[in-house]
């Protein structure tokens, strides 16, 4: 049987592992930070109607510039943005990949602050960009001083700032973003995939875009909009950045069906975001009840909680799985991560965790 070793694979890809979280059919899946709330019926009906209309023109290529979708996304984000500031692709991972294709590549480097989103080094590897793993402060925080010092030391071509950070949930201050931007001549990407789960009125890097042409703010519809299966990510930036991404995108990269579904969902923004309030309540509940069980939940501005004090993460993970509850071992010693689900799912997790009586580290 042929293996990877038998193929003329690029040398820099040999020995690498693809991204992947466990995909198991369990009653309670809280491992990949999905929005587990069902889509409201009226929203689903409008999306189905939009898809039915789009199907009738599938013999033609879609709008290559996805103009209506960019208008809808600009309207949703506000901050004076227009379609000229907006880019979109098949999930925020593809957006970030296109950024690396345009601004990274052989001889160039990407700095991220670990632990952070595990796709960053994978995307770097796939585009031939050198990955630089920077360090964080205690409790996974990232101060302006710590971040800017490492930028000046390593001189990266691109910096990825995950805000709030995945997998730790740690919020990021605008002071850190501006300090990083001022410390480099390269591109700075603020990945705000979980921004909607921050407290009301929390600052966003979107407010920093004017006058900063090398600053990009990435978002996704996967989380707050319960759109993970549709694969729609986007970014806001100076119009020159969107022109740069046109140089590397594949022709007609966003299908007519994707565009139609996303536009229909964005027309129901208020209804879709109403789910966010409940998710935030369940996240805060997780923080409170995990602490009561003797764990150390970390500060989170996202829809998940990383909790420490787990003596044997793999044993606890497997014990919960046997109870029909799937969470995530993200490889941080003594820690596990759980997504905030519906009230019933959150209750099921907490009750299962109490039943398995894991040993908590002193």
The pLDDT of 303-332, averaged and rounded, is: 96
CATH (domain of 293): 3.90.1150.10
Q: pLDDT tens digit string along 137-190?
A: 999 999 999 999 999 999 999 999 999 999 999 999 999 999 999 999 999 999
CA–CA dist 356, 303 (Å, integer) = 24
Q: In this structure, are 123 and 176 located in the same domain?
A: yes
- Confidence bin at 320 (pLDDT 50/70/90): very high
Residue 13 belongs to some domain of the structure:
no
What tokens does 214 get? 């090398």
> How many angstroms separate the CA atoms of 29 and 36, rounded?
9
**8 Å CB contact between 307 and 296:** yes
Q: What's the pLDDT score for residue 22?
A: 64
Residues 81 and 227 placed together within one structural domain of the fold: yes
Mean pLDDT of the chain: 94
Question: Looking at the domain assignment, is residue 242 inside a domain?
Answer: yes
* Last-in-domain residue among 241, 267, 293: 267
228/276 same-domain check: no
pLDDT of residue 235: 98
Between the CA atoms of 80, 84, 90 and 96, what dihedral angle is there, to the nearest 10 degrees? -80
**What's the pLDDT score for residue 1?**
80
User: Between 139 and 21, where is the model more confident?
Assistant: 139
- Mean per-residue pLDDT for 110-117? 98
Report yes or no: 339 and 304 within 8 Å, Cβ to Cβ.
Answer: yes
> Do residues 96 and 219 share a domain?
yes
- Classify residue 88: in a domain, yes or no: yes
Q: Are residues 177 and 308 in the same domain?
A: no
Global pTM? 0.94
- The answer to whether the CB of 187 falls within 8 A of the CB of 157 is yes
Structural domain that includes position 143: 43-267
pLDDT tens-digit readout, 25-70: 889 999 999 998 988 999 999 999 999 999 999 999 999 999 999 9
pLDDT digits (tens, 9 = 90+) for 250-276: 999 999 999 999 999 999 999 988 889
In this structure, the answer to whether residues 191 and 131 fall within a common structural domain is yes
Together in a domain, 142 and 76: yes
- Structure tokens that stand for 58 in this block: 């599938």
Residues whose CB falls within 8 Å of the CB of residue 72, separated by 6 or more in sequence, listed in order: 262, 263, 266, 267
Residue 357's pLDDT is 64
User: Are 277 and 254 part of one and the same domain?
Assistant: no
Q: At 336, is the pLDDT very low, low, confident or very high (cuts 50, 70, 90)? A: very high
**pLDDT range class, residue 359, cuts 50, 70, 90:** very low
Residue 16 domain-assigned (yes or no): no
Q: Which of 231, 252, 267 is the last residue of a domain?
A: 267
135, 245: one domain: yes
- Is 66 found in the same domain as 31? no
Question: How many domains are there within the chain?
Answer: 2
Q: Say how far apart CA 217 and CA 128 lie, in whole Å.
A: 23
What is the predicted pLDDT for the residue at 7? 87
In this prediction, residues 342-354 reach a mean pLDDT of 96
Asked if residue 157 is part of any domain, the answer here is: yes
Residue 8, class by beta-carbon neighbours within 10 Å (0-12 exposed, 13-18 middle, 19+ buried)?
A: exposed
Say if residue 87 is in the same domain as residue 211: yes
* Domain harbouring 186, CATH code: 3.40.640.10
2 lies in some domain: no
The last residue of a domain, from among 238, 267, 296: 267
Q: Let me know if residue 227 belongs to a domain.
A: yes
Here the tokens at position 341 are 């689900």
For residue range 297-317, list pLDDT tens digits in order.
Answer: 999 999 999 999 999 999 999
Question: Which is more confident, 132 or 19?
Answer: 132
Whether 5 is covered by a domain: the verdict is no
Is 254 in the same domain as 289?
no
């Amino acid at each position: 049987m042929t293996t990877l070793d038998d193929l003329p694979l690029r040398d820099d890809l040999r020995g690498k592992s693809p991204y992947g979280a466990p995909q198991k059919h369990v009653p309670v899946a809280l491992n990949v930070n999905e929005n587990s709330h069902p889509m409201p019926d009226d929203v689903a009906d409008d999306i189905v109607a939009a898809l039915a209309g789009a199907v009738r023109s599938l013999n033609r290529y879609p709008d290559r510039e996805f103009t209506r979708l960019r208008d809808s996304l600009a309207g949703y984000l506000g901050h004076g943005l227009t379609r000229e500031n907006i880019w979109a692709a098949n999930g925020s991972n593809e957006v970030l990949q296109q950024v690396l294709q345009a601004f990274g590549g052989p001889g160039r480097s990407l700095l991220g602050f670990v632990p952070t989103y595990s796709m960053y080094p994978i995307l770097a590897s796939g585009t031939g960009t050198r990955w630089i793993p920077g360090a964080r402060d205690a409790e996974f925080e990232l101060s302006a001083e710590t971040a800017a010092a490492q930028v000046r030391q390593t001189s990266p071509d691109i910096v990825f700032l995950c805000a709030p950070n995945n997998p730790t949930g740690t919020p990021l201050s605008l002071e850190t973003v501006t300090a990083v931007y001022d410390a480099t001549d390269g591109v700075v990407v603020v990945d705000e995939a979980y921004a909607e789960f921050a407290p009301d009125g929390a600052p966003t890097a979107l407010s920093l875009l004017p006058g900063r042409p090398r600053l990009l703010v990435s978002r996704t519809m996967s989380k707050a909009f319960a759109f993970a299966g549709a694969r729609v990510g986007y970014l806001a930036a100076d119009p020159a950045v969107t022109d740069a991404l046109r140089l590397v995108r594949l022709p007609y990269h966003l299908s007519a069906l994707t565009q139609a579904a996303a536009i229909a969902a964005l027309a129901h923004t208020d209804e879709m975001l109403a789910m966010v309030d409940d998710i935030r309540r369940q996240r805060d509940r997780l923080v409170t009840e995990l602490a009561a069980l003797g764990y150390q939940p970390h500060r989170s501005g996202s829809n998940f909680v990383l909790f420490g004090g787990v003596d044997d993460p793999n044993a606890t993970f497997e014990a919960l799985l046997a109870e029909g509850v799937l969470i995530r071992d993200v490889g941080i010693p003594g820690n596990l991560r759980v997504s905030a689900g519906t009230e019933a799912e959150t209750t099921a997790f907490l009750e299962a965790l109490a039943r398995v009586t894991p040993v908590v580290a002193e």
